[in-house]
DNA sequence: CCTTGTTGTAATCAACTGAACACAAGTCAC
DNA sequence: GTGACTTGTGTTCAGTTGATTACAACAAGG
């Protein structure tokens, strides 16, 4: 049920999501959703909290240099971010949470979650504030492009493809395939050799 | 009325905004809002379109090197962005638009608007794709922090202040004052000399 | 058997919300 | 002054939505 909620909240945001839509996605009744979590607010709080925890866990794991040496922390963080993209819903749910700063209930939750990630990057992973800023900025740009569904139009909008490739570099194909299901432009020619 | 709509949509997003809330903010009746613009969808389309136009106009103006020489395009663009922050609602309305990629009506409007800004930076202002990416990323980070209302807690959360200062540098004080109305931490000591 | 608790649904309700309608007041042309 | 048009409001309505309640199926324990 939380998985379904994550996907639906990620697509439509908090106010745009009905408990019925989550119920349909989860394959249960709307009444059951509401009774299980108490309210729509509580459901979103739990969904968003889980998404934040997952992001932090993935970053923490990327910080541990247990993988084959030779790559920098930044590179490991970048690959970790691509893994997060695969988990459809998490990044977009958090992005929607970040637009709720004015909300009575979720405002502080959103700020705490954001600052918690910043502290994780700075204190545990050891990035400088400038490095953390750059990483966060790139992440916000990726989240925005995901919210725009820019990968969907990569075949019809060459500029979208250029920008995505510029941001994601080697991970472009993987992300486009993950988020659209179809084969990205030009990959066939490159792979068929 | 569009000014009021921009503020309200920027705070609560498209689905979170009622036509009545816009009407109250504009000082007219709800019926008048709906009849003037035809529908809530049309109102948001016009509000978001105006916000996009304003952003593009400000960037275009920053590109023209009519101001005193010696500063780079990047610096002029940065100052232009701070000007946009002052216009409460514009950046946040556009940010909400950018989360509507899945929407039947606004999805393509959002993608077109975003790509239009990218093309403006690249073709008219002459940034390389990498420079444009960096500028957009920083912009998305600023938008996110505005949506979080991070400047509001700058006095109680030192890390928020650090991050904001890291992103905005010289413009920190100006932005915090603009978005909160109160005096940012430490500005009194620095100004009272 | 029977009580208790869990899992789940159908039906219903009250509040909210976008939209429509009728109508009033003013303005302007002629 | 009178018909037409604009500006604007009060009222009402139908659809949506979060939440509640009553109820069914089922397992477990004693």
Confidence at B173, pLDDT banded by 50, 70, 90: confident
B15/A11 touch (CB, cutoff 8 Å), yes or no? no
Q: Are B15 and A13 in contact (CB under 8 A)?
A: yes
Residue nearest to nucleotide C6 (CA to C1'): A36
Q: Are A34 and A64 in contact (CB under 8 A)?
A: no
Residue–nucleotide distance: A23 CA to C16 C1' (Å):
21
> How far is B152 from B164, CA to CA, in rounded Å?
11
> How far is B65 from B57, CA to CA, in rounded Å?
14
Number of helices followed by number of strands (H, E) in chain B: 11, 0
Specify the DSSP class assigned to residue B183: P
Q: How many Cα atoms sit within 13 Å of A129 on the Cβ side?
A: 13
Q: Are B99 and A99 in contact (CB under 8 A)?
A: yes
How far away is chain A from the Cα of B73, in angstroms, using its nearest Cα? Answer: 20
**Closest C-alpha among B119, B117, B142 to residue B56:** B117
A178 has a chain B CB within 8 A of its CB? no
Task: Give the pLDDT confidence of A126-183 residue by residue, as tens digits.
Answer: 999 999 999 999 999 999 999 999 999 999 999 999 999 999 988 898 899 988 876 6
> How far is B90 from B82, CA to CA, in rounded Å?
12
Task: Give the pLDDT confidence of B22-52 residue by residue, as tens digits.
Answer: 999 999 999 999 999 999 999 999 999 999 9
* Alpha helices (H) along chain A: 2-16, 19-26, 30-37, 40-63, 73-86, 90-97, 106-119, 129-147, 158-168, 172-180, 187-191
Question: According to the model, what pLDDT value does residue B68 have?
Answer: 60
CB-CB neighbours of B48 under 10 Å: 25
Tokens 């500063």 locate to B71
Residue–nucleotide distance: A3 CA to D25 C1' (Å):
26
How far away is chain A from the Cα of B167, in angstroms, using its nearest Cα? Answer: 7
Structure tokens at B71: 């500063």
Chain B residues with CB inside 8 Å of A144's CB? 95, 98-99, 114, 140
What integer is the mean pLDDT of B103-117?
97
Question: According to the model, what pLDDT value does residue B185 have?
Answer: 59
Per-residue flag: A71 CB under 7 A of strand D:
no
What integer is the mean pLDDT of B141-153?
97
The structure's pTM equals: 0.91
Query: Which phi-psi region, left, alpha or beta, contains residue B118 (left: φ > 0; alpha: ψ -120 to 50)?
Result: alpha
Maximum Cα interatomic distance, chain B, rounded to a whole number of Å:
57
How far away is chain A from the Cα of B138, in angstroms, using its nearest Cα? Answer: 5
What's the gap between Cα B164 and its chain centre?
Answer: 16
Portion 129-148 of A in contact with B at CB < 8 A: 129-130, 132-134, 136-138, 140-141, 143-148
Range with the lowest mean pLDDT among A51-55, A66-70, B74-78?
A66-70
């Amino acid at each position: 049920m939380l998985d379904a909620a994550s996907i639906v909240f990620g697509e439509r945001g908090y106010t745009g999501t009905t408990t019925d839509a989550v119920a349909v996605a989860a394959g249960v009744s709307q009444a059951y959703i509401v009774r299980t979590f108490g309210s729509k607010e509580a459901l979103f709080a739990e969904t968003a909290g889980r998404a934040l925890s997952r992001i932090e866990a993935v970053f923490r794991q990327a910080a541990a240099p247990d993988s084959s040496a030779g790559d920098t922390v930044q590179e490991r963080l970048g690959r970790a971010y691509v893994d997060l993209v695969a988990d459809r819903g998490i990044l977009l749910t958090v992005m929607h949470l970040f637009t709720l700063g004015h909300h009575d209930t979720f405002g502080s939750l959103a700020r705490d979650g954001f600052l918690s990630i910043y502290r994780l990057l700075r204190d545990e992973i050891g990035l400088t504030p400038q490095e953390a800023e750059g990483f966060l900025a790139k992440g916000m740009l990726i989240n925005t492009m995901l919210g725009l569904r820019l990968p969907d139009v990569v075949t019809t909008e060459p500029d979208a493809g250029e920008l995505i490739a510029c941001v994601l570099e080697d991970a472009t194909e993987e992300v486009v395939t993950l988020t659209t299901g179809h084969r990205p432009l030009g990959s066939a020619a490159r792979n068929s050799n």
